[in-house]
């Protein structure tokens, strides 16, 4: 038998090659594990950074909201004690709040529409024309609105919207504020009503009855109506709220000569609403201010005197005229009016009045009212000709700009300019009533009787903006608010977030040169949440 040859043995790989393959496998596993570890580390760091940024932004919002509450308290103090509110840097600029270990937090309250440096103070709604009381003729007198269909659109929008709630929730928004005391130095709300809704959102409309649209108001305070809602209902771009106008001198807007008056309004832009703002003689060679500085849908005042007591209605049929603290000549004149079956539409009708009355015997007697320069201030302060507890839509003669003054029936260009020019020299006592327009000789008795029913010398609703910021990080938040100090405690009617517009003023003009040198890098960082120190950002579109 023949033997088969044995099969050839398979060659085994060298020992070195097997070890190399294992090493390569280990390296791949290590590489994958390293990549996974790096990704996890990056994710953890990103989450940590986002959390830190969120916490810093929350602190910035709290700083700004603290400024809102502080400004609301200042508005109420201005109403009750006459404390300065228009231009008061000591109370409103760079107010320190708390130190969280990384940042010192501050807020600044400033008037909207003012340039660098801003006016650190409040704006009053009574310096604007109230859309809920304005006629088409009055609106057509505003710069840029002459002959425009926008006038009828605005009035139709106001009629459609009516009015929002006159009340505001007493509870702060759930995510708007941290619990009081979480950060050292954070002020308590002190009973001030916080706005409903989330941060930056306007309050929702309520069910309170709107005003009847008359200047003598109604039995309840008028409901709040956001101006942005009126513009939206009228079909206007939201940029109309921020404005497209140029600038006007600060004293034209009633700013006393204290501190730095600055200028009002922002630089002209090319927004869709810009076409409505043509050159206006009311502002010399400058363009008209934006509509938000000329119009409001929320201005009213209690029908009380400077001591907070209800005014005496001279038309009250049950009034004991002889018991009034008025000159005998004035009381005789009022008695004659009552006997003749006549009433007053406004106490100013008594100024230098002279009428012929028939006595009980049928004889004609001419009587003078006995009201002149000496008697007019007290008359306007303590007496009224309506029984309504609230007066809506009166224009503050101490603060209204020329363009708004010109909408008053009987007002002409020369008188409006004379009023604005005389305001810086007024005494505190003169500013108590509109009587100074007559007592200073700016208007004669006949003219004053025509314009007085539209005038007031008081402000109860205020609009302002607050910038809350941390140094040296540069985190910031910007809030606009409207407060009503006609009630106690003052209530916040509107709040909206303007942070995305950027930091509102430059460091060298608002914070001072020493701070600017130390903090310029942080405040020039462009990403969102960092302060942009040079110019305002894009227009708010909320």
pLDDT at 50 over 60: no
| Mean pLDDT, rounded, for 337-348 | 94
The residues, any chain, with a CB within 8 Å of residue 330's CB and separated by 6 or more, are 350, 369, 370, 371, 375
Segment 283-330, tens digit of pLDDT: 333 345 678 889 999 899 999 999 999 999 999 999 999 999 999 999
55-82 average pLDDT score: 91
Residue 458 has pLDDT above 60, yes or no: yes
Query: Whole-model pTM?
Result: 0.72
* pLDDT of 119 strictly over 70: yes
Q: Is the pLDDT at 436 greater than 50, yes or no?
A: yes
For the ranges 15-19, 447-451, 498-502, the one whose mean pLDDT is highest: 447-451
Average pLDDT along the chain: 75
- Provide the pLDDT confidence category of residue 167 given band limits of 50, 70 and 90: very low
Which segments of 127-229 are extended strands (E)?
Answer: 129-130
User: Please, is 50 exposed, middle or buried when counting C-beta atoms within 10 Å of its C-beta (0-12, 13-18, 19+)?
Assistant: exposed
pLDDT value of position 8: 57
φ and ψ at residue 248, rounded to 5 degrees: -140, 150
**291, two tokens:** 């509509």
Please state, in angstroms and rounded to a whole number, the distance separating the CA atoms of residues 38 and 46: 12
Q: Which helix (H) or strand (E) holds 538?
A: none
Q: Is the pLDDT at 267 greater than 50, yes or no?
A: no
Which pLDDT band holds residue 363 (cuts at 50, 70, 90)? Answer: confident
pLDDT, residue 343, reads 94
Most confident of 73-82, 280-289, 357-366, 523-532: 73-82
Distance of CA 371 to the CA centre of its chain: 38
Whether residue 454 has pLDDT greater than 90: yes
Instruction: Kindly report the backbone phi and psi dihedral angles of residue 405, in degrees, each rounded to the nearest multiple of 5, phi listed first.
Output: -60, -35
Model confidence at 241: pLDDT above 90? no
Going from N- to C-terminal start, the domains of the chain cover 60-303+391-523, 312-387
Is the bond preceding 489 in cis, omega lying within 30 degrees of 0? yes
Is the per-residue pLDDT at 23 higher than 60? Answer: yes
């Amino acid at each position: 038998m023949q033997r088969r040859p044995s099969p050839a043995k398979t060659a085994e790989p060298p020992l070195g090659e097997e070890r190399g393959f294992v090493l390569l496998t280990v390296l791949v596993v290590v590489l994958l594990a390293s990549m996974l570890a790096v990704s996890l580390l990056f994710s953890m760091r990103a989450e940590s950074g986002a959390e830190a940024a969120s916490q810093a932004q929350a602190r910035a919002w709290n700083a700004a909201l603290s400024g809102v509450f502080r400004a609301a308290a200042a508005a109420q103090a201005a109403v009750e004690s006459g404390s300065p509110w228009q231009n008061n840097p000591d109370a409103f600029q760079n107010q320190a709040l708390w130190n969280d270990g990384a940042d010192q937090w501050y807020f600044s309250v400033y008037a909207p529409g003012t340039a660098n440096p801003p006016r650190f103070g409040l704006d009053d709604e009574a310096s604007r024309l109230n859309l809920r009381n304005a006629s088409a003729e009055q609106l057509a007198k505003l710069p840029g609105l002459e002959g425009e269909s926008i006038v009828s659109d605005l009035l139709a929008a106001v009629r459609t919207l009516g009015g929002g709630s006159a009340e505001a929730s007493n509870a702060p928004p759930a995510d708007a504020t941290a619990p009081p005391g979480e950060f050292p130095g954070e002020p308590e709300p002190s009973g001030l009503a916080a706005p409903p809704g989330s941060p930056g959102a306007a309050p929702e409309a309520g069910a309170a009855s709107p005003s009847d649209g008359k200047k003598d108001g109604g039995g309840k305070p008028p409901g709040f109506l956001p101006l942005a809602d009126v513009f939206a209902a009228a079909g206007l771009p939201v940029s109309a709220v921020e404005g497209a106008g140029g600038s006007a001198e600060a004293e034209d807007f009633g700013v006393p000569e204290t501190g730095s008056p600055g200028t009002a309004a922002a630089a002209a832009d090319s927004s869709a609403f810009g076409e409505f703002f043509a050159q206006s003689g009311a502002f010399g060679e400058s363009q008209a201010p934006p509509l938000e500085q000329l119009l409001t849908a929320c201005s009213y005042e209690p029908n009380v005197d400077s001591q907070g007591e209800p005014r005496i209605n001279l038309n009250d049929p049950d009034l004991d005229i002889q018991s009034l603290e008025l000159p005998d000549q004035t009381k005789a004149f009022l008695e004659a009016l009552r006997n003749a079956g006549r009433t007053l539409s406004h106490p100013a009708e008594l100024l230098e009045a002279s009428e012929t009355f028939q006595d009980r015997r049928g004889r004609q007697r001419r009587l003078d009212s006995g009201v002149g320069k000496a008697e007019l201030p007290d008359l306007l302060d303590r007496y009224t000709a309506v029984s309504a507890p609230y007066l809506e839509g009166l224009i503050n003669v101490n603060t209204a700009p020329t363009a708004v003054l010109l909408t008053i029936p009987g007002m002409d260009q020369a008188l409006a300019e004379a009023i604005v020019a005389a305001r810086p020299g007024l005494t505190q006592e003169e500013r108590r009533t509109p009587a100074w327009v007559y007592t200073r000789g700016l208007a004669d008795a006949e003219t004053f009787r025509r314009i007085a029913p539209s005038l007031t010398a008081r402000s109860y609703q205020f609009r302002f903006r607050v910038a809350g910021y941390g140094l040296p990080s540069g985190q910031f938040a910007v809030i606009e608010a409207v407060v009503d100090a006609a009630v106690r405690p003052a209530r916040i009617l509107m709040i909206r977030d303007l942070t995305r517009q950027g930091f509102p003023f430059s460091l060298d003009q608002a914070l001072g040169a020493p701070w600017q040198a130390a903090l310029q890098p942080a405040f020039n960082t462009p990403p969102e949440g960092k302060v942009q120190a040079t110019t305002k950002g894009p227009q708010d579109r909320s």
